[in-house]
Amino acid sequence: MCSFIYIPRSISILYSMATPLANTSMQHTAPPQSPPAAPHPFNSRILIGVFGVFAAAMMSGLNSRIGGLSLIDIKTAFGVGADEGSWIGSLYSAFELAAMPFAAWFAVTFSFRRFHVGVVIIFTVLGLLTPFAPGFGVLLALRCLQGFFGGLLIPVLMAAALRFFPLPLRLYGLALYAMTATFSPNIATWLSATYTDTLSNWHLVFWQIVPLAIFSIWAVAWGIPQDPVRLERLKNLDWLGLVSGVCGLVCIGVGLAQGERYDWFNDALITWLFCLGAILLFVFLLAEWFHPLPFIKLQLLHRRNLGLGFTIFIALVVVLLSGSLLPAQYLIEVRGFRTPYIAGIGLLIGVPQILCGPAVSFLLYKQWIDARHVFATGLACLAASCLVNAHVTSDWIAHEFLIGQVLQALGQPMAVISLLFLATSVVQPMEGPVVSGIINMFRAFGTLLGDAMLERVFSLREKMHANVILDSAAAAGMITPPQHTGALEALGVLAERISRQAFVLAIADSYLILGTLAVLLIPLVLNLNYIRPPILNSTSR
C-alpha cells in the first residue's frame, strides 16, 4: 500500500528539479488554503439535497452495470462483433476509474452544488446522444466521456454524507453510499431485462438515466447550500498529477479489463499498458505526496484504519462479486437463461438493502457494539454463502441459490457499512474530500481486479477440469473414433457435456477462492483500531 512507500531523498530532489511547483512547496510553506466550507444546520431541505446526490450516484452505477449486461443488444444494434464490442464496457470502466480521485477536489473548487449539477447535465446529455452515434468510433468516444463524468458522481456522495450529516445521523448517510455497492449492482440485472426484453427497446439502456437525473438536478439545486466558488485553487492545480493520474489509471483499467482476451503479458499491447500505467501511477503518487494541494492525501494512509482498511476494502469488493457475478454466469452459461430469468437472483440481494442498510447503521450506534465484530460477522456470512454455493452442480436452477443469496443480503451491508464507519471515523471533516477520492479509486480498482481475476480463474480451472474429465472418459472407453454420423453426433454431445461440467466445476472453484478470501480478511479486520460508537444525543457535527 501507498502508506508504506519510502521515498528516498534523491528521488525527492529529482522530483523537485522536474516540478517547480513541488520544489517550491518543499522549500517554503504551503500556500494558504481557503477556509473549509461553513457548516450548515441539518434539515429536511439538506436531506433532500443529499438524496439528490444519492440518486446521481445510483444513476452512474446503474448506467455502468446495465451497459455491460445489455452488451449483446448494443453490439447487435451497432453491428459489431464480440471482440470489438468488449471495448465498450472496458473503456467505460477505465475512464470511470480515472475520474474518481479528482472528483472531490473539483467539487470544492467550483462549489459542491454547481459542480454536481453541471456533471449530471453533461452525463445525461452524453447518454441521450449515445444511441444516435453514427459509428462505432463515435460510440466508444461517447462511452469514454460518459464513463469519466460518471466517475465524478460517486465520490461526491461520500463527501456529502461526511459533510452534511450530523454525527448522530452520519452512519445513515454512509449507508446511502454503501447502497451504491450493494443495491445498484444487484438490481441492474432486473432493469436490464426490463429494458431489452420486456420493453424491447435497447435505447432505454442509455436513456434510463433521465428520471434520476431530473430529480438529482432539482434536489441538489434546491437542497444543497451554495458554497463560495474557490477558483484561486486552480492556481495550485497539480497538472502533473492530473495528467499522469488520468492516463495511468486508464492504462491500468484497460489492461485489467482486456487482459484475459489478449492473454495478459503474452501480448505486447497488455504489456505496454501495464508498464506505461505503472510508470504514470508512480509519477502521480510522487506528485500527490509532495504537492501542497493534492487530489488525494497519501499521508493519511499511515492511519491504521485507513491504510489497512482500504486494503481490506479492495479485497472486499472482489468478494462481493460472489453475490452478483457468479450466479449470473452460471445461469447464463450452463442453463442458457436470458436476463429476465436471472433477475430474481440479484433482487434477492438488492431489495433487502433498503432495510438492511439502515438496520446495520442503527446497530453500529449501540454503545455495546464493536464495529469490527459486525464487520467480521458480515465476512463470515459472505464466506458461508460462498461455501453453500460451492456445492453447485449442473442440475441447479435459480432457486438453489436462495440460501446463499440471503446470506449475501445480510453480509454485504454488515461488511461495507462497518468498514466505512471504521475508516471515516479517523477522518477530520476537512479531510473528507481527499479521503473520498482514495476510497472510490480503490473501489473501482477492486471491481476491475475482481473481474479480471475471476476471468483468469474461469479460464485456467475450466481447461484443467475439461482435461481431467476428458482423460477419465477416454480411460472408460467413452471416446472412440466415429464410424458413422450417429457416432459423430454423440461425440459432439459428449464434448458439450464435458465443457458444461468443466464450467460448473470452475464456478465452484471460484466460490471456494472468494470464500477463502473472505475468511482470510477476518483477522485483518480484527486488527483495525477500535472506534467507539458515536453518542446519539451529541450535538457535534
pLDDT over 70 at 229, yes or no? yes
pLDDT over 90 at 520, yes or no? yes
pLDDT over 70 at 23, yes or no? no
Kindly report the pTM of this predicted structure: 0.84
| Residue written as grid cell 462511452 | 143
Cα–Cα distances in angstroms (integers) from residue 129 to residues 72, 122, 390, in the given order: 19, 11, 43
The pLDDT score that the predictor gives to residue 293 is: 87
375 part of a folded domain: no
How far apart, in whole angstroms, are the C-alpha atoms of residue 172 and residue 177?
Answer: 9
Helix axes 339-350, 402-424, angle to 10 degrees: 50
Nearest 10 degrees: Cα torsion 155, 161, 167, 168? -130
pLDDT over 70 at 270, yes or no? yes
Nearest 10 degrees: Cα torsion 110, 115, 117, 119? 140
The pLDDT score that the predictor gives to residue 123 is: 94
Ordered alpha helix ranges (H), 100-237: 103-110, 112-129, 136-151, 153-164, 170-182, 184-193, 204-207, 209-223
264 part of a folded domain: yes
Instruction: State how many domains the chain has.
Output: 1
| DSSP state for residue 360 in the 8-state scheme | H
How far apart, in whole angstroms, are the C-alpha atoms of residue 319 and residue 381?
Answer: 11
pLDDT over 90 at 424, yes or no? no
How far apart, in whole angstroms, are the C-alpha atoms of residue 251 and residue 359?
Answer: 40
Mean pLDDT of 205-234: 91
Cβ atoms 448, 422 nearer than 8 A: no
Confidence of residue 203 (pLDDT cuts 50, 70, 90): confident
How far apart, in whole angstroms, are the C-alpha atoms of residue 174 and residue 188?
Answer: 21
Highest averaged pLDDT of the listed ranges 263-267, 305-309, 472-476, 516-520: 516-520
Give the HSE-up count for residue 423: Cα atoms under 13 Å, Cβ half-sphere: 28
Confidence of residue 32 (pLDDT cuts 50, 70, 90): very low
Q: Which helix (H) or strand (E) holds 487?
A: helix 485-526
Confidence of residue 16 (pLDDT cuts 50, 70, 90): very low
| Residue written as grid cell 477505465 | 94
Q: What residues have CB less than 8 Å from 449, skipping those under 6 apart?
A: 256, 314, 318
How far apart, in whole angstroms, are the C-alpha atoms of residue 488 and residue 472?
Answer: 19
Mean pLDDT of 13-32: 40
Q: CA torsion sign, 237 to 239 to 242 to 245?
A: negative
Confidence of residue 142 (pLDDT cuts 50, 70, 90): very high
Q: What residues have CB less than 8 Å from 434, skipping those under 6 apart?
A: 104, 105, 294, 295, 296, 297, 300
527 part of a folded domain: no
Q: What residues have CB less than 8 Å from 179, skipping those under 6 apart?
A: 54, 58, 353, 357
Cβ atoms 434, 104 nearer than 8 A: yes
The pLDDT score that the predictor gives to residue 20 is: 39
82 part of a folded domain: no
Query: Bigger pLDDT: 30 or 348?
Result: 348
Q: What residues have CB less than 8 Å from 214, skipping those under 6 apart?
A: none
pLDDT over 90 at 31, yes or no? no
Confidence of residue 282 (pLDDT cuts 50, 70, 90): very high
- The grid coordinates of residue 200 equal 424491447
Cβ atoms 428, 102 nearer than 8 A: no
The pLDDT score that the predictor gives to residue 480 is: 57
The pLDDT score that the predictor gives to residue 485 is: 57
The pLDDT score that the predictor gives to residue 484 is: 57
455 part of a folded domain: no
Per residue in 387-398, pLDDT tens? 999 999 888 888
Query: Bigger pLDDT: 166 or 151?
Result: 151
Cα–Cα distances in angstroms (integers) from residue 426 to residues 299, 419, 430, 530, in the given order: 13, 12, 12, 11
- The grid coordinates of residue 94 equal 477505465
Cβ atoms 382, 518 nearer than 8 A: yes
259 part of a folded domain: yes
76 part of a folded domain: no
How far apart, in whole angstroms, are the C-alpha atoms of residue 302 and residue 4?
Answer: 8
How far apart, in whole angstroms, are the C-alpha atoms of residue 173 and residue 167?
Answer: 10
Domain that holds residue 256: 244-292
* pLDDT over 70, % of the chain: 87
56 part of a folded domain: no
How far apart, in whole angstroms, are the C-alpha atoms of residue 248 and residue 123?
Answer: 23
Confidence of residue 205 (pLDDT cuts 50, 70, 90): confident
The pLDDT score that the predictor gives to residue 1 is: 38
Mean pLDDT of the chain: 83
pLDDT over 70 at 364, yes or no? yes
- Specify the 3-state DSSP secondary structure of 81: coil
Confidence of residue 5 (pLDDT cuts 50, 70, 90): very low
- Specify the 3-state DSSP secondary structure of 493: helix
How far apart, in whole angstroms, are the C-alpha atoms of residue 461 and residue 84?
Answer: 26
How far apart, in whole angstroms, are the C-alpha atoms of residue 376 and residue 526?
Answer: 7
Q: CA torsion sign, 372 to 375 to 381 to 385?
A: negative
Amino acid residing at 344: G
The pLDDT score that the predictor gives to residue 114 is: 93
Cβ atoms 410, 353 nearer than 8 A: no
How far apart, in whole angstroms, are the C-alpha atoms of residue 473 and residue 314?
Answer: 41
- Specify the 3-state DSSP secondary structure of 276: helix
The pLDDT score that the predictor gives to residue 473 is: 67
- Among the listed ranges 66-75, 177-186, 296-305, 532-541, which one has the minimum average pLDDT value? 532-541
pLDDT over 60 at 350, yes or no? yes
Confidence of residue 515 (pLDDT cuts 50, 70, 90): very high
Per residue in 78-108, pLDDT tens? 877 777 888 888 899 999 999 999 998 999 9
Query: Bigger pLDDT: 495 or 203?
Result: 203
Tally: H helices and E strands in the chain:
22, 0
Mean pLDDT of 228-239: 90
Ordered alpha helix ranges (H), 6-131: 9-18, 20-27, 44-69, 71-78, 82-99, 103-110, 112-129
Per residue in 452-501, pLDDT tens? 898 898 888 888 888 888 877 666 666 655 555 555 566 667 777 888 88
pLDDT over 80 at 194, yes or no? yes
Cβ atoms 250, 280 nearer than 8 A: no
Mean pLDDT of 257-271: 89
The pLDDT score that the predictor gives to residue 117 is: 94
Mean pLDDT of 401-419: 92
- The grid coordinates of residue 337 equal 437463461
Q: What residues have CB less than 8 Å from 73, skipping those under 6 apart?
A: 196, 202, 205
Per residue in 322-349, pLDDT tens? 887 888 888 888 887 777 778 788 888 8
The pLDDT score that the predictor gives to residue 9 is: 40
Amino acid residing at 57: A
